[in-house]
């Protein structure tokens, strides 16, 4: 089935390590997004991409790096993980950018 | 800075009751407003989209209204069922590919 897949589903990492969260979509949507969800904050946008090789910062980009060499993939890298980056991370895609969002099932990341 | 607030944070109702979830936003210059449903351990599912020029949208037992001038939206759920139990999130789009989410209302419909 077409969809949006995130991996891994769960990840525990140590402070200071680099970790990459993967996101893959099969619709060829132009727009892709990374959000983090924390208790009391709802979802906050980390980075988004309007097309391959085009990315831009969201509300909370510090400590994160993204790339988009192919339309279908949008990995999120934490260069040096901190405890404050413990969160649930959601990837989403959209053909329009402003609506018609499809979300992945999330990656629960714990930094110890 | 746009802020989105949802009240109440949690709601418990008996099955069959009609209910209203509230969403307020601070800046009326929005592109659209969207309601999502989130089940535990799952991603978000889009429920309703209201464009800035619209007043309401309906899908089955769900009806969402939008009053831009007062910065408010409501999600009305008719004849609630246990399967409606989930967290409901509203989000406003600023028109620059950025959704601003509220913290959600956690709904429990008791059989």
| A29-75 pLDDT, tens digit each | 999 999 999 987 789 999 999 999 999 999 999 999 999 999 999 99
Of residues B31, B46, B104, nearest to A101 (C-beta): B46
C-alpha B19/C-alpha B81 separation (Å) is 11
What pLDDT is attached to residue B12? 97
What pLDDT is attached to residue B75? 97
Q: How confident is the model at residue A1 (pLDDT cuts 50, 70, 90)?
A: low
Backbone angles phi, psi at A83, to 5 degrees: -60, -30
What pLDDT is attached to residue A99? 86
What pLDDT is attached to residue A97? 84
| Neighbouring C-beta atoms of residue B95, cutoff 10 Å | 13
Q: Residue A10: pLDDT above 80?
A: yes
Tokens of B104: 């959600």
Mapped onto helix, strand or coil, the DSSP state of residue A18 is coil
Residues of chain A in Cβ contact (below 8 Å) with chain B: 4, 31, 33, 35, 40-45, 48, 50, 58-59, 90, 92, 97-106
Inform me whether the C-beta atom of residue B64 falls under 8 Å from chain A C-beta atoms. Answer: no
Partners of residue B101 in chain A, C-beta under 8 Å: 35, 42-44
Of residues A42, A44, A97, nearest to B97 (C-beta): A97
- Average model confidence (pLDDT) for chain A? 94
Give me the residues of chain B with pLDDT under 70, please: none
């Amino acid at each position: 089935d077409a969809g949006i897949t995130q991996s891994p589903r769960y990840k525990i990492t140590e402070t200071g390590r680099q970790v990459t969260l993967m996101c893959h979509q099969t619709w060829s949507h132009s727009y892709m997004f990374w959000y983090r969800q924390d208790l009391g904050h709802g979802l906050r946008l980390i980075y988004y991409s309007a097309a391959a090789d085009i990315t831009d910062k969201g509300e909370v980009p510090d400590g994160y790096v993204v790339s988009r060499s192919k339309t279908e993939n949008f990995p999120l890298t934490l260069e040096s993980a901190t405890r404050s980056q413990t969160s649930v991370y959601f990837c989403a895609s959209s053909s329009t950018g402003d609506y018609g969002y499809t979300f992945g099932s999330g990656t629960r990341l714990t930094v110890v | 800075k746009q802020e989105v607030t949802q009240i109440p944070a949690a709601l418990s109702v008996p099955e069959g009751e009609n209910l209203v979830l509230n969403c307020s936003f601070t800046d009326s210059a929005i592109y659209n407003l969207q309601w999502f449903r989130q089940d535990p351990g799952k991603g978000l599912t889009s429920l309703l989209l209201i464009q800035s020029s619209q007043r309401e949208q309906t899908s089955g037992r769900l009806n969402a209204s939008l009053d831009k001038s007062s910065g408010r939206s409501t999600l009305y759920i008719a004849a609630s069922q246990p399967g409606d139990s989930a967290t409901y999130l509203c989000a406003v789009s600023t028109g620059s590919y950025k959704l601003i989410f509220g913290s959600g209302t956690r709904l429990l419909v008791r059989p």
